[in-house]
């Protein structure tokens, strides 16, 4: 059996179903190149051009595409276009959002821009080029490689307490209402520190702030469980944070800074400290500095750390760049479709 993903993401295989396990008296065999939609979820873009063999129930009307009038590749972009999905959303009937259906006759009344075949193919080629950019090397693949390298290096390594490797900075500064303070923030999922702008002393209720230095290890108490750890980069040297952050000087005679950054921004580390974070609910869990400092972590030799550190950081940074590119390309395809089809509608 086959299903249709929402947001124009194509088909997925649902597995085999025995005839005795279904209440449907008839099923439809899919043909490569047909058009299919889900009555129940067409309103959120569950429409696709068939790219695999399979069967569907009567909940999935199918249509043969007239290739003399419409190019299938072009049509696959039209049905993923928000202008088309918007028409289907207005064509629903039924009670409750999750039970809204699009009847075949309402689906068939939707209007699509249809230039000549040559123009359709040219548009499809341009949009396909953008879509392919989303299917190149993934950040998840690089993350997997990084995890394997870390796990291999930590296997059998001796354990050391955090407080023997890091020294907490305990010199807060008094806030003056007449002063301005350049602030630092920390992203979750190991994505590092960022410039959080300028805070005027009169705008905060905190009587004290923490000043951090380049190379410090820093974490957000409230976000530690979801990976809000990082090393302060040189360009953010001397920035300030609220007391919700904790900052540490790193003993580089015992732990390599690059290796440390790779470790604390790793999903496996976030999972471990997540179990140490306490709070009344998931979003309010905090990692107490005393608890963090009592944690024992496995460490390979300093020589091995220095050997692996640069490679692990390169993998992390490459993964971050790919993730940012993926965000842009995911936004670019809908924008490109809007531009291409919008121009056709105003002609």
pLDDT tens digits for range 3-19: 898 888 889 887 777 77
Q: Is 139-316 in the same CATH topology as 2-131?
A: yes
Is the pLDDT assigned to residue 176 strictly greater than 90? yes
Pairing assessment for the beta strands 296-299 and 240-241 based on DSSP bridges: unpaired
CA atoms within 13 A on the CB side of 117: 7
At 75, is the secondary structure helix, strand, or coil? helix
Output the six-digit token pair for 245: 């952050």
Cα angle for residues 49, 55, 58 (degrees, 5° grid)? 85
Yes or no: say if 145 and 318 are a contact pair by the CB < 8 Å rule: no
Q: pLDDT confidence of 92, banded at 50, 70, 90?
A: confident
Distance separating alpha carbons of residues 81 and 13, to the nearest angstrom: 23
Helix axes 302-345, 139-154, angle to 10 degrees: 170
pLDDT tens digits for range 185-209: 999 888 889 999 999 999 999 999 9
DSSP state, residue 177: T
Domain locations in the chain?
2-131, 139-316
Is the pLDDT assigned to residue 218 strictly greater than 80? yes
pLDDT tens digits for range 119-158: 999 999 999 988 876 655 566 677 788 888 999 999 989 9
Q: pLDDT confidence of 259, banded at 50, 70, 90?
A: very high
- State mean pLDDT over 319-330: 74
Fold held by 2-131: Adenine-n6-DNA-methyltransferase TaqI; Chain A, domain 2 (3.90.220)
pLDDT at 313: 85
Alpha-carbon torsion angle 77, 82, 88, 93, nearest 10: 140
Higher pLDDT, 261 or 142: 261
**CATH class (in words) of the domain with range 139-316:** alpha beta
């Amino acid at each position: 059996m086959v299903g249709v993903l929402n947001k124009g993401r194509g088909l997925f295989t649902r597995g085999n179903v025995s005839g005795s396990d279904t209440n449907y008296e008839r099923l439809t065999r899919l043909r490569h190149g047909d058009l299919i939609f889900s009555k129940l979820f067409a309103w959120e873009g569950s429409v696709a051009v068939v790219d695999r063999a399979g069967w569907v129930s009567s909940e999935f009307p199918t249509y043969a595409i007239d290739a003399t009038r419409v190019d299938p590749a072009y049509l696959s972009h039209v049905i993923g276009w928000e202008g088309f999905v918007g028409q289907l959303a207005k064509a629903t009937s039924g009670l409750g959002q999750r039970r809204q259906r699009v009847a075949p006759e309402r689906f068939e009344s939707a209007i699509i821009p249809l230039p000549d075949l040559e123009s359709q193919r040219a548009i499809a080629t341009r949009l396909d080029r953008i879509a392919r950019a989303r299917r190149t090397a993934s950040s998840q693949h690089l993350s997997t490689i990084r995890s394997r390298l870390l796990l291999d290096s930590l296997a059998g390594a001796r354990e050391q307490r955090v407080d023997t490797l890091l020294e907490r900075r305990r010199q807060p500064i008094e806030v003056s209402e007449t002063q301005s303070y350049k602030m630092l923030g920390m992203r979750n999922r190991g994505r590092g520190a960022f410039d959080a702008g300028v805070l005027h002393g009169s705008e905060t209720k905190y009587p004290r702030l923490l000043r951090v230095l380049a190379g410090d290890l820093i974490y957000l108490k409230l976000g530690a469980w979801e990976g809000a750890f990082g090393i302060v980069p040189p360009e953010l040297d001397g920035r300030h944070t609220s007391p919700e952050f904790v900052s540490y000087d790193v003993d580089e005679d015992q732990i390599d800074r690059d290796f440390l950054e790779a470790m604390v921004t790793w999903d496996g580390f976030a999972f471990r400290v997540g179990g140490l974070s306490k709070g009344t609910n998931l979003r309010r869990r905090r990692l107490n500095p005393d608890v963090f400092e009592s944690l024992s972590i496995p460490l390979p030799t300093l020589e091995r750390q220095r050997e692996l550190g640069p490679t692990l950081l390169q993998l992390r940074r490459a993964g971050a760049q790919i993730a940012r590119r993926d965000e842009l390309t995911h936004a670019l395809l809908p924008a490109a479709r809007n531009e291409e089809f919008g121009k056709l509608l105003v002609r």
